[in-house]
Structure formats: C-alpha cells, structure tokens
Structure 1
Amino acid sequence: MKLKFINIILITLLIFNIIPISICLALEDESNSSKVDYSSDEVKKEFKDLLENLFAQRNAAIVSADTELLKGFYDLDIKVSLWAYESEAKKTQYLINWSEKQAVKFKDIKSIVRIRKVAEKEPNLYGVICDVATDFNYYYIDSPETINHFRLGTNHYLNLKKQEDKYIITKEWYTDPFADSLELKNLKSEEIKEYILNQNSPEYTPSEKIQNAIDYAHKYCGVSEDEEFTFKYNSNYKDHNPDGGDCANFASQILFEGGEFKKNSAWNYAGKAGTKAWLNAQGFKNYMVNSGRASYIAKGSYEQIYKAAFNMRPGDFVAYEKKGRITHVSTVTGFDSKGYPLVTCHNTNRLLVPYDLGWSNDNIKFHLIHVHY
C-alpha cells in the first residue's frame, strides 16, 4: 500500500512538471526491489533498435495527424499507461495545431536513441532510461520543395512490456519540451498564416563574433548534429538543470565563449558557480538590458510580437514570461525558409527550433531582445 501511494505521488508530480526526472528515477529505484542495472553493449544495442523503431511508429502519428495511431503503443487498461497515452495524444494534437497556425506540414520525424540503463524488472517487463534526439523536417504549404529542420532533446524513463511479438509502454516519464504550453487559444490563425507565408528569409551575413556564438550554441546544445557532441554539454560548466534550469547558464556561455563578452562582478561564472545575472533567466534578461549590452525589440503576447520577431537576428535572444516572471531564455541561431527565427537552448534541449514552439499559451509573454555584439 505504501509503495502504491509513493508511485501515485511521483506520477502526479511528474504530470504537473513539479520535480525533475533525475529525482523521480532516484525515488523509483528506492521504491522498487529491483534497481536499474548497467547493461552490456549488446543489450543496449538491442533496446536502442527497439526504441528507435517504436518512436518511428509513434512519430508517424504526428506526420499523419492521427492521434488514434498512438493507442497501439500503450496498455490502456493500466492507469499509468493510459495517462502516458493521454499525455502523448495531447502533445501530438498540439503539434498538429501549431503546424496549422504556422502554415507548415511535417514531412517526417526521426528519433535517435542513446540507452543509458536497462533492467529486467520482472519476466518480460523492462525498465529503460534513455536520451532521445528527435529531428523534425517540415515545409511551408506554398513551398513543399523547401525542407526546414529542427531538433528536440528529451530524456525518458520507460517500462516496456513484451506481449507476444511486440513491446508496449506501460509507463513513461520524460522531460517535456511542451510542458509550458499545450494550447493555442484565440489566435487569428488565418491572419498569422497569411503573414508568415508572405515573408522571406533575409540576406544576412553574421560577424565573426556572432558566427562563433552560433557555432558554440550548436556544438553544446545537448542535441548537436555533430555525433561527437550529440548528447553532451560543455564539461567546463556545471549542468544546472537539477538546480532548476540551465537555460540562462547556456545563454551566458554563448555570449562569453562564442561572442567574447567579458565577465564582470555582476555577470560572472567561476568554479562551477555563477552570479544571478549569469544563471537566472530573470536576472540574465534584466542584466543584459539594464547594462546596455542588449535592448528591446518588442514585448507582449504572441499576436502582439510575431511580426516584430522577423526583425530578430542570430545572437539575439527570446525571454519567456509566465505569471510576471521570466522563466526561460533561448538564443536565436538561425532562420527557416520564411525568415522565422529559430532558437537554440538548454533545459529541454533545442537546436534551431521555431521560437514559439512549446510557448503558445495565451498567458505567456515574449521579450524579444537584441544583443549588442
């Protein structure tokens, strides 16, 4: 009874994104008699292939815009599996809604898996911890020949149950890139769609400093397309995700390591620790603007700023406000074929992702900030 109560509390906290997956995994280990074991390379390869195939089929549900296809991957008679399905269906529907607003269609979605641990919890039931990098390829409806691309990173803990000749998901927790926004309410989608379709990617050549900042961001974002760095951060810095988030730390690194911004007493990092202006999203935004190192382009809801966003350039950043506080920052590192700003960041790792994807709720305000290199 006690174990059942602990699991219910864990699942509830995860659903509302209150505790990070690392804590959940530790508690899960505490509450199960069978701990997750390190696995041989052969076993990891077997489960890597298995999960990449499973995710490929699940990704097809997004491409086909059919959430019913998801049901086959879950045991809907098990409550936690049903919750996992319902959560995944909601996220899939969000992506479908976002693509409608954006006037795009997904061409294909592919996931790369790195297995960290595998354990047999009981006969035919396996616990798996893995990192996933998922590539999204999309095109605008008026130019299907031009393919755009972004990558999202997620960390998963799954229970997989073997049933006859297939595996189904009986439990799934993962870092959710859309946890902050799963709704698109009251947007004038047709007006937005028409405006976006009428844009073109600007002719732009970055300065050497800005190019170095872009290169640093793409190398250490945690989902680099360079296989050597796909699941890596810069080891010279502490990963502050377990402390509440690493987004400002990474944005600061981009400016310092790539853009050659000099540290000072207010904005500083040393010995795996940093000042509030370096590590905190609100502190970082305030410092950059108040110090004169950056200035505002626009601020407001998505409908209020989406036109101004086309004035952003690589090296600038977007700060996201919820309930009066800046909770996240992302650095612009490119454009898609319509000149739509693409951001790269930590927390849930992103590489060249449309800046509003996952930040669409009507209670979110965008701060578009131009950085003076």
Structure 2
Amino acid sequence: MRLSKIKKNRSKFIIILVFIVFLSLITSDKSSIVFADASTDNEVKSIVENIFAIKNKAILSKDLDSIKSLYATDTRYGQWAYEYEEKKVKYINNWAEKQGIQFVDIIPKVVIKKSKIGDNKCSFSLICNTEYKYIYPDQPEAINSSRMGTYHSFQLSKRDNNWIITKEWYTDPFADSLSLENIKADEIKQYISSQPPRDISNINEKRKGAKEYAERYCGAATIEEYGFKYNNKYRDFNPEGGDCANFASQILREGGKFKENSTWNYDKGSATGPWVNAGKFTHYMINSGRASVIARGSYEKVYKASYKLLPGDFIAYEKKGDITHVSTVTGVDSKGYSLVTCHNTDRNNVPWDLGWSDKKIKFWLIRVHY
C-alpha cells in the first residue's frame, strides 16, 4: 500500500519508534551504527541503508541482539517495535526450516523518493526493494531469488550532534502471519526436498505474456531497470483498500490477452467489482469458466497440489470466510515450488505461502484457462 494509505489509516501499519543514543563508529561487519554529521543526501541515504542491512543481517545470523540496540526498549513504543521485529525474524527462520531452505543473502536497495533535510531533522519517503537469496542444501549451486518491495515514511532527528531514527511507518509483507503453529514441518520439508526441478519453458505465449507483465509492473518489487513502478495506465487502488485484484486483472488483460466484458472491465479509472475486488475476481473467474479450482483448503491440504500451478494461474487467500488477496503465479524455484507476484505488498517471484502461514488461512489454487 502507498504512503497515502498510511496517513489515512495508520493502525494497519507498523509504527516503529527508535531511539539510538551514544552509538559508536560503524564496524566492518555493520554490527553497530554511528550517525555522523549528515550534511548531504548521500550521507543520509547511507545511514538508512545501514539500518536495513543490520535488520537483514539479523535474519541471516539469527542474532537478535544486533537489532535490539536499534530500539528504545525502555519505552512502550520501542519495546513493542522490537518485539514485532523479533517475531518477524523468528517467523522467517521458522518458515525456512519448514521449507528446508537456507537464506544465503538478503540485499536491500533503498530508493528515497522525497526528502526534506534540515539542520536538526530529516524526513523522507522511500521504498526498499529487498532481494532474498536462498538455496536448498542438496543444491548449493542453485541460488533462488525473490524480491519484496515496501513503502516507508522515515524521520531522523539530530540529538547531541548525532542523527537518530525517531519514526518509521511501513507496510510489512509478513504482517498477515507471524507463526507456523501446529504445522507438520518435518513431513512437509521432506516432501519439498524430494521434488525434482520443473521445466516450465514450454508454457504458451499467453502465459509467458502474463508472467512478463507481472514481473515488469510489480512496483517496489521490480528489478531496478523497470523503475519500481506500477503501470500508470491504470489507477492505483491501494488508497481505497488494496490493488491486488486490479493487478491480477491487468495481468490477464495486458499479458494474457483476455477480453473485457460487461462484468469484468476497467475504463478511465473506473472498474467493475470483479476487476478490483479479490473475492469477486476469484468467483467471477471460476463461475465464468475462465478458470477452475485445482485445490482449496489449509496449507497442509493443498501444498502438494501447488506443484500443478503454472505461470499465469493464481492463488486466492481466504481469511475468516473472505478472500482478501490474490497473487499470480510467475515461476518456480529450483525444487519446482511455485512463486507468485502481486501488489500490496509488492512481491516478485516469492514462494507462494511466505507471509501467509496462519493456520486459519485457506488457499484457493486456481487454474486459468488461456
């Protein structure tokens, strides 16, 4: 979701309040930070990049102490923010254990979109494009890559001649699920690790078109050459509740060459319900015969069937009886595990269940008929 959404409804976003006092010089392993006199944009950017690097390093090393120093744990907001970050680090590593993978690198790319730098305060909005690289232990040479894009509103203040973080609001791709409770991880890991690679090179041209469109216009999760942008031909519905179905519809229309009709269409900023609403989109595709259900149910019920998915198919995510999100399948990793691309939050070839591990979530695996 965009920053305008943040301002309208901050309760949906993570509020991080960080106080860092008496920080030492940056060491070669980036285990600590110094906020020197940030007199240029590049210096401010370097400070912010270092913060993201420390957080990502904590995921790789499982060293929570390295991020704890970023938070004022003696304050309510600081303690809450640290506890959330702690849960996120644990969740990602628990998911990796379930998956039987090892993260080998996490690379943040910070792009400052707007900034206001004063003598004692800096404020800016930015996006962070984070690349997650992982391997399966029996295939160390096959490095898999996924990207997630997040939108942040950031503030630095100068105290005692040091720059410190005072506020940050951002959308979190893991906010919908930070647990892997009661899941049979060993059985699942064994099944995933036993799968051979899947060759998807023979998919038809419409499926290839859907894949290419999704990867080009997935916003903050794109590769840098695409500019981290949505397709400006279409309205961004994030400020009005979400853009996932709008993007899935674009993928089918622009990439898959599906024709619009009176039920499913977009015109000059206006769209029908099945175009922009995740639940209506899913039911329209099924009821119209343009798609059919491969499987529906909990993760443990459907994960084996997920290997039937192809680029251009999609997955719908159901919470409390309501489909709240859709993602388009755009690839497979070195073990044939399906990868998805979507908006809000922006994902680019990310394992389809990462961030959706709540046991109450039901998955709809949908075959699209191109």
Q: Same fold (TM over 0.5)?
A: yes
Which residue in the other structure is 1:219 paired with?
216
Secondary structure of the equivalent of 2:328? strand
Please say if 1:339 is aligned against 2:324: no
Does structure 1 conserve the Cα–Cα contact (< 8 Å) formed by 2:150 and 2:220?
no
Which residue in the other structure is 1:130 paired with?
126
Secondary structure of the equivalent of 2:219? coil
Secondary structure of the equivalent of 1:223? helix
Does structure 2 conserve the Cα–Cα contact (< 8 Å) formed by 1:138 and 1:147?
yes
Please say if 1:95 is aligned against 2:92: yes
Pick aligned residue for 1:238 from 223, 235, 239: 235
CA distance in 2, matches of 1:96, 1:71: 17
Which residue in the other structure is 1:183 paired with?
179
Does structure 2 conserve the Cα–Cα contact (< 8 Å) formed by 1:178 and 1:358?
yes
CA distance in 1, matches of 2:211, 2:198: 17
Please say if 1:280 is aligned against 2:265: no
Q: Taking CA–CA contacts closer than 8 Å with sequence separation of 6 or more, which of the two structures ends up with the larger relative contact order?
A: 2
Please say if 1:351 is aligned against 2:348: yes
Please say if 1:266 is aligned against 2:251: no
Does structure 2 conserve the Cα–Cα contact (< 8 Å) formed by 1:295 and 1:371?
yes
Instruction: Give the CA deviation at 1:121.
Output: 7.7
CA distance in 1, matches of 2:214, 2:253: 11
In the TM superposition, what are the counterparts of 1:1-373 in structure 2 within 5 Å? 20-23=5-8, 43-119=40-116, 123=120, 125-162=121-158, 167-204=163-200, 205-223=202-220, 225-373=222-370
Does structure 1 conserve the Cα–Cα contact (< 8 Å) formed by 2:312 and 2:330?
yes
Which residue in the other structure is 2:36 paired with?
none
CA distance in 2, matches of 1:121, 1:21: 24
Does structure 2 conserve the Cα–Cα contact (< 8 Å) formed by 1:266 and 1:277?
yes
Secondary structure of the equivalent of 2:181? coil
Does structure 2 conserve the Cα–Cα contact (< 8 Å) formed by 1:56 and 1:110?
yes
CA distance in 2, matches of 1:366, 1:213: 21
Which residue in the other structure is 2:27 paired with?
none
CA distance in 1, matches of 2:81, 2:345: 19
Instruction: Give the CA deviation at 1:58.
Output: 1.5
RMSD: 2.1
CA distance in 2, matches of 1:316, 1:77: 48
CA distance in 1, matches of 2:119, 2:78: 17
Moved over 6 A (4+): 163-166
Instruction: Give the CA deviation at 1:248.
Output: 0.2
Residues 212 and 169 of structure 1: CA distance in aligned 2, closer, same or farther (over 3 Å): same
Q: Which runs of 5+ in 1 are unaligned?
A: 1-18, 26-41
Instruction: Give the CA deviation at 1:158.
Output: 2.7
- The one-letter code sitting in structure 2 at the alignment partner of 1:20 is K
Secondary structure of the equivalent of 1:97? helix
Does structure 1 conserve the Cα–Cα contact (< 8 Å) formed by 2:315 and 2:364?
yes
**Worse overlay, 42-51 or 330-339:** 42-51
CA deviations 1:96-148 (Å, max 9, x no partner) are: 1111111111101011111123345883x433321111000011122222110
Aligned length: 339
Secondary structure of the equivalent of 1:82? helix
Identity value in percent: 54
Instruction: Give the CA deviation at 1:69.
Output: 1.6
More helix by share: 1
**Worse overlay, 134-143 or 316-325:** 134-143
